[in-house]
Amino acid sequence: MFNKVFCIGFNKTGTSSMHRLFTELGLASFHGYYSHIPVTDPLYRQFQCFSDGDQHDFALLDRTFPGSRFIVTTRPLDAWLVSRIRHVEQRRRIGATGPMREEYDADPALAVRRWVESRLAYHQRVSAYFAGRPGSLLVIDICTTRDPAQACATITRFLGLAQPEGLQLPHENALLPDAPATGVRTKAEVRAEVGAALAALGLSPEQCGAAFP
């Protein structure tokens, strides 16, 4: 049996769906930017599963909570960038701020470049740290899967849990692709911006569509 479950992927990779899945499995789950919460905080005694955040100190979590399982939720690079930008536009629409919006609003092209570089470097660190430990790390793309039931089975099997009959992976926080709220562009519109930005970085189509690392 595992100690804790830490989702250590970036935001906009299905972290809300993971939180909902943990809850439906009967696990005490916390969804929020726990990557900035010290490991000594009582929060870690109250919950068993954690999701959302930015770049996590997974090595510290591993040392502090031995026997834990780590899940990197991810998605193709170009789709992840599209989702991030539309999330920024949604926050702008409702008047919410935050580091990601501030970074993008200041210089969209520079923000996208930094997001790409930080994601690649972070994924490489995760891969190197957990090398040879397949029982400790699961890398999964739940955002573009065509078989939610199979994705759910992969997660429960990794955790050593039985999958309740009929349970499928929830899909939370999805913005409509073709009927956006005012001020939020469609996926197709944002995809054009992302494509140009990735081309300027000299990334190949294979790199643009890669989910990990």
* pLDDT tens digit sequence for 67-86: 999 999 999 999 999 999 99
- For the chain, the structural domain boundaries read 5-208
Q: What percent of the chain has pLDDT over 70?
A: 95
CA distance readout (Å), 204 to 77, 117, 190, 193, 195: 11, 15, 19, 16, 11
CA distance between the termini of the chain: 28
Taking residues 37-45, report their average pLDDT.
Answer: 95
Predicted local distance difference test score (pLDDT) of residue 174 = 57
Q: Quote the tokens at residue 73.
A: 């939720």
pLDDT at 178: 54
Question: 44 with 7: CB under 8 angstroms?
Answer: no
| Predicted confidence (pLDDT) at residue 179 exceeds the cutoff of 90 | no
Q: What is the pTM of this model?
A: 0.91
- Which 3 state secondary structure label does DSSP give 198? helix
CATH architecture of the domain covering 5-208: 3-Layer(aba) Sandwich (3.40)
pLDDT at 176 (0 to 100): 53
What integer is the mean pLDDT of 164-172? 74
- Higher pLDDT among residues 179 and 149, named by residue: 149
Instruction: Give yes or no for a cis peptide into 213 (omega within 30° of 0).
Output: yes
Average pLDDT over residues 193-200: 91
Residue 180: the pLDDT is 56
